[in-house]
Amino acid sequence: MFKIRIINEITQFFDRSVYRKLVESTNKSKQAVYQVFRLNN
């Protein structure tokens, strides 16, 4: 039971950090695409 709780906390922490990195990278790529789109038009 205790082991499962530790694993759950680790996975939640890992998911959060990975999710944050994903969101940041998608935001950066969206901004880059938007800038290219604006330059082309």
Instruction: Give residue 13's pLDDT.
Output: 93
How many angstroms from the chain centroid is the CA of residue 9?
A: 18
Instruction: Give residue 22's pLDDT.
Output: 92
Instruction: Give residue 37's pLDDT.
Output: 87
pTM exceeding the 0.95 threshold for the entire prediction: no
What stretches of the chain show up as alpha helix (H) in DSSP? 2-40
Instruction: Give residue 31's pLDDT.
Output: 92
Q: pLDDT per residue over 1-41, tens digit each?
A: 688 899 999 999 999 999 999 999 999 999 998 888 888 87
Question: What's the residue count for the chain?
Answer: 41
